[in-house]
Amino acid sequence: MILTTDKMAFVTDQDNSDKYIEELITEYGTNQYRIKINRTLSPPYYQLFYEWKEGKRKLNRELFSSSKLGKIVNFINENIQ
């Protein structure tokens, strides 16, 4: 899946996605963002994360969650610079 916003283009991370949980990744500037789509729920649930590395660990912080993809896209367009 490819998701485009005004500022970013997210693509499927094949290593971390499966039939029920899909993860989309992008890099914007020097930052990495991830959208996690949980298809086990009805309707699907979307979570936006900011990711960074500290040594060998990969850390993330949830920025926004919604069951509507349009709300995630609006949040990205309005709040990520």
Tens-place pLDDT, residues 8-44: 999 999 998 999 999 999 999 888 999 999 999 999 9
Residue 26 lies inside a defined structural domain of this protein: yes
Residue 79 lies inside a defined structural domain of this protein: no
Residue 44 lies inside a defined structural domain of this protein: yes
Sorted by sequence, the CB contacts under 8 Å of residue 73 that are 6+ apart come out as: 3, 5
Residue 76 lies inside a defined structural domain of this protein: no
Residue 19 lies inside a defined structural domain of this protein: yes
pTM of the model: 0.89
Query: Could you give the CA distance from residue 11 to residue 33 in angstroms, rounded to a whole number?
Result: 11
pLDDT above 90 (res 70)? yes
Query: Could you give the CA distance from residue 31 to residue 81 in angstroms, rounded to a whole number?
Result: 10
pLDDT of residue 63: 96
pLDDT band at 1 (very low <50, low <70, confident <90, very high): confident
pLDDT above 90 (res 80)? no
Residue 78 lies inside a defined structural domain of this protein: no
Domain that holds residue 16: 2-70
Q: Tell me if 76 sits within 8 A of 8, measured CB to CB.
A: yes
Burial (0-12, 13-18, 19+ Cβ within 10 Å), 32: middle
For residue 73, which phi and psi values (nearest 5 degrees)? -60, -45
Q: Domain total for the chain?
A: 1
